[in-house]
Structure 1
Amino acid sequence: MRTPAPRPSRRSLLALGSAAAAAPVLGATPAHAGTGGGQAPDAPDDFDELDIAELRRRMADGRLDAVRLTRHYLERIERIDPLLRSVIEVNPDALREARKLDGERRPRGPLHGMPVLLKDMFETADRMHTTAGSYALEGMRVRADSAVAARLRAAGAVILGKTNLSEWAGGMSLTHHAGWSARGGQTANPYKLDRSPHESSSGTGAAVAANLCVAGIGTETNGSILDPSSANCLVGVKPTVGLVGRGGMIPGVPSQDSVGPMARTVRDAAILLGTLVGVDPRDPATEASRGHQHRDYTRFLDPGGLRGARIGVARDVYFGYSHHADEIAEQAIAALRAAGATVVDPADIPTAGQLDDLPGQVVVQVYEFKRGINAYLAGAAGDVPRSLAELIEFNRENADRELRYVRQDGLETVHRLEYGEAEYREALGVNHRLARAEGIDAVLRRHRLDALVMPTSGPPAKIDLIRGDTYGGGSSTPAALAGYPAVSVPAGFAFGLPVGLTFMGTAWSEPTLLRLAYAYERATAVRRPPEYRAPDVGL
């Protein structure tokens, strides 16, 4: 078994992949205005940990409406989020939107009146900003909702606000600074406030864990849904690339980028996924999802869904970097067996030792990100940088705000490197072959498996804005390079810090992965709300 040595973040754009002073929020309603520094809850609030089904039941019988629920979350953000800095801004029109939904005769579906937070990568045609955490985009005005925002609004969800993230989805720096952006400051982990919220969808993870919304939406290039879900004791779904449209989203690495739900239960994640899927005219990759998308993923959920399932344990590379994660994973494997699954152990991905360090990762990420961000900035409305080169210059001219803690060596290296289309196509083909046919699909076929399991990542490391966070290891790379789905579900705690278990499968296997994750969740009931523990000298 190969144990990978710690190294700079593989989520940064070349390896791809504490509190700071609050950055003033731009024109929309500040998330932390008027607060007294944040206050952890002394007792659970009325709606803490309630799922979508229960909230809808209360709305159906008149005990609750969208306005009351939205006001509850807005007040909770005002009271608690200064501890976390997870919400970069709130929607100044959220209550008005909720009031309009309450006036409709019939609910649009299970998300009707449910307040949802979006990662600050999705365009919304309202008074909020879309900035990837950067001041460079504060002048941008979008013409239309992103595909994700449009689907949520059509389903009756209230877009409550936007969440903080690793600036430019982790592409700013080669050093790991999970949850830091110039606009939002440093997001903290609600389970222990000096711990990393883990990877670029960190604000969504911390906010959902802290019950600041019903659920949230994240994005992932490599680990940015799965890892913050693990670190914040959530269910995170990283779908097959192309299942959810990315039109109107600030681009990253399109061959790997996924959009998915982050929620406190598998059922809630399944509800959100069914809302998000569909062909998006602005995202050609979604054409491949025809015949593979489902409007209702809850129909696949079965508390006995592990009985008769064949699940393989991918040990090589994905165990061994954290003995805490290993111990929790071993307990999870025992729970799978006890629930009736046939566990094949080991069932290693044949190419696991090659995937994390593939030279082609750099080629693909640089080629796709450079072209995507240049095209996006060139077409943006407003007074913003028009290219990656202008963005880098903006950051230099505004170093007191943009480069206070985090260097932009990630952006600078991407700008400096240049790869041709032939070299890119070859690298992408190798990545796909090793991750798909010779990787995940090979081990699934060999052992006739429904899915693979492995620890999602280790317990979250301490935040270190000066030197960067430590990243010890994780299991997201095979699904990331393949463009295949994975689901992380809470599996246990190490000294109060959450650790997740990942279920990983082949393309379009979301129904199977959700069924297995749901049955595991029901059998183990690991999820518990955070305690907002203060920093100390121990773990």
Structure 2
Amino acid sequence: MRMRSAATLIAALVAGSLFTGAPSPGAEASERRADGSSPPTGSPPRLGVDLDTVTIPELQARMAKGSLTSSALTSAYLWRIRTVDPKINAVLRTDPTALRQAAASDARHRRGTTRGPLDGIPVLLKDNVDTRDMPTTAGSLALAGSPPDADAALVTRLRASGAVILGKTNLSEWANFRAAQPTSGWSAVGGQTSNPYVLDRNPCGSSSGSAAALAASLSQVAIGTETDGSIVCPAGMNGVVGHKPSLGLVSQSGVVPISAEQDTAGPMARNVIDTALTLSVLGGGDTELPDDLRAPGGLRGKRIGLWRLPSLGSEVDAVMTSTAKKLREAGAEVVEVTPPHQKRLAELEFPALLSEFHRDINAYLATRDGPQNLAELIEFNRTHPAEQSCFAGQELFEGALAAPPTTDPEYRAMRAELKKLSRLSIDETMATHRLDAIAAPTNPPAWTTDCARGDDDVIPSSTPAAVSGYPSLSVPAGSVNELPVGLLLMAGNHQDVKLLALGAAVEHRLDAWRAPRYLPTVGPDASR
């Protein structure tokens, strides 16, 4: 089926699953904007919709009948960025052409020539995704000069779909692959992003700005990237939805790399339906949504394996117990599982990534102004104090420089074993228990952000899907002391659409999303 009919179908399917929530509070205006823009004055634009809860199908229905324009929607999000974002520092810059893009979409809506479900929908991009008309820095001053020569392939698809490129989000510098003990959500270009739920807590990395911006309703959807956990952990910790697609489903061309063997960009949103529609654009014809996408609530007879991960603490485990109870009440069969081979995966993953990073970052840097290879990048960081203002370490860079090349037999054996064991860990568990998906906690409660300490983020649930290249999806599951906890769903290779359909049903049953309250603190670190 074509995209437009998919959007209409899904609007009907999810009619019973729409969230409810209070409007997000405003924030004091600030002059902090990286793009030099001034704070707005006056009242926010009136849309007749709640940006916290509205879905893409609802927006498209309103635009189709003329009761809403993309220009008004884009203006509303720009207003929120200027008024709310100073609390959380998630958006690096806005695109000065955003309103022109929206006006072009309005003209298409008037003519009845829209390009699909994202036409006129504002999208934020993580700042490691190349854009020809805005800087792409990966958070590093080393790339803060002229923009790339061309858009990333996924940006080309978004533009072709009529999406409004709203701006770029902050991230953990170099996607958290610089220091052995980094602080997620910090970059030399953008500073520190805060968690909108509790402002002294961390947003997780590395798609921290994308997730925090969505939690604060600064865009309808956002794009993140993941090597291992960098979409799903920020989604879980900021109470939104994040999908790590199957490897290769979304083109990685024009995205600052860590490893071609694991990297993927993916969609993030406040609900599963918007996430699925965004994937349908990012993935092109391979991910058009089928007529048999199940309506939310269709959990009866589904078998879900729960991987509890008690290492994340008793409070997270209590959220998993409550989650299992709700899923069983909806007719799902929930069985407890422990995927095998996790210790060996942990031993092998980073040594392999070091070799791959050296290869892939050298190839990318050669396309940009600035340091032309990893050795020059290491020297840049040594000689620029601003790169050391939160943490000075670049142990992963140095380890990658010394790592064996990807032509080395030892490396090749590591990657082959990683691929085999990671796929077995999911495939064997799914087959043994006849599962539709494996579920696990996405994240612990957000830890306090502290540059001196760094992250407290040993979170093993993302690794099997990340290393295997299989899809994963995080949906809100509950909270601990005001801090969101996500449920991570995993399935077999290229089962993305089935996983999203199951995720919509789980999301509807759990009904766990709550708007952030921008609390300054909640007392002792709940993650300890």
Equivalence for 1:10: none
- Match of 1:141, SS? coil
Equivalence for 1:114: 121
Equivalence for 2:159: 153
Amino acid of the structure 1 residue aligned with 2:449: I
TM-score, normalising length from structure 2? 0.88
- Match of 1:475, SS? helix
- 1:349-379 alpha-carbon deviations (Å, 9 max, x no partner): 12233322x2x21331011110111111123
Amino acid of the structure 1 residue aligned with 2:131: T
Q: Is the 8 A contact 2:358 2:401 kept in 1?
A: yes
1:242 shift after superposition? 0.7
- Match of 2:295, SS? coil
Amino acid of the structure 2 residue aligned with 1:378: A
Alignment partner of 1:333 out of 324, 339, 359: 324
1:231 shift after superposition? 0.5
Mapped to 1, the partners of 2:398 and 2:410 lie a distance apart of 21
Amino acid of the structure 1 residue aligned with 2:417: V
Q: Is the 8 A contact 1:123 1:146 kept in 2?
A: yes
Amino acid of the structure 2 residue aligned with 1:108: R
1:196 shift after superposition? 0.5
Q: Is the 8 A contact 2:481 2:522 kept in 1?
A: no
Mapped to 2, the partners of 1:223 and 1:263 lie a distance apart of 16
1:57 shift after superposition? 1.8
Amino acid of the structure 2 residue aligned with 1:311: I
Tell me which moved more, 139-148 or 263-272. Answer: 139-148
Distance 1:74 1:297, change over 3 A: farther
Alignment partner of 2:341 out of 340, 351, 357: 351
Amino acid of the structure 2 residue aligned with 1:402: E
Amino acid of the structure 1 residue aligned with 2:75: R
Mapped to 2, the partners of 1:137 and 1:65 lie a distance apart of 36
Number of matched residues?
Answer: 486
Q: Is the 8 A contact 1:457 1:500 kept in 2?
A: yes
Mapped to 2, the partners of 1:298 and 1:236 lie a distance apart of 23
Mapped to 2, the partners of 1:79 and 1:525 lie a distance apart of 28
- 1:313-341 alpha-carbon deviations (Å, 9 max, x no partner): 224xx233211111101111111111111
Percent identity between the aligned chains? Answer: 44
1:480 shift after superposition? 1.1
Matches within 5 A, 1:74-153: 74-104=78-108, 105=111, 106-126=113-133, 128-153=134-159
Q: Is the 8 A contact 2:182 2:391 kept in 1?
A: no
Amino acid of the structure 2 residue aligned with 1:465: C
Matches within 5 A, 1:151-190: 151-190=157-196
Equivalence for 1:70: 74
Equivalence for 2:8: none
- 1:107-139 alpha-carbon deviations (Å, 9 max, x no partner): 21111100000101111122x101101111122
**1:296 equivalenced with 2:289 (yes/no):** yes
Mapped to 1, the partners of 2:510 and 2:96 lie a distance apart of 39
- Match of 1:369, SS? helix
Matches within 5 A, 1:41-440: 46-104=50-108, 105=111, 106-126=113-133, 128-278=134-284, 293-296=286-289, 300-315=293-308, 318-344=309-335, 346-356=336-346, 358=347, 360-380=348-368, 382=369, 384-399=370-385, 401-407=386-392, 408-419=394-405, 420-437=407-424, 439-440=425-426
Q: Is the 8 A contact 2:227 2:258 kept in 1?
A: yes
Equivalence for 2:13: none
Mapped to 2, the partners of 1:313 and 1:56 lie a distance apart of 36
- Match of 2:305, SS? strand
Distance 1:232 1:432, change over 3 A: same
1:462 shift after superposition? 0.5
Amino acid of the structure 2 residue aligned with 1:109: G
Unaligned runs of 5+ in 1: 1-21, 280-292
TM-score, normalising length from structure 1? 0.86
1:469 shift after superposition? 2.4
Equivalence for 1:18: none
- Match of 2:312, SS? coil
| Coordinate RMSD, CA, aligned | 2.1
Distance 1:511 1:109, change over 3 A: same
Q: Is the 8 A contact 1:271 1:297 kept in 2?
A: no
Q: Is the 8 A contact 1:486 1:502 kept in 2?
A: yes
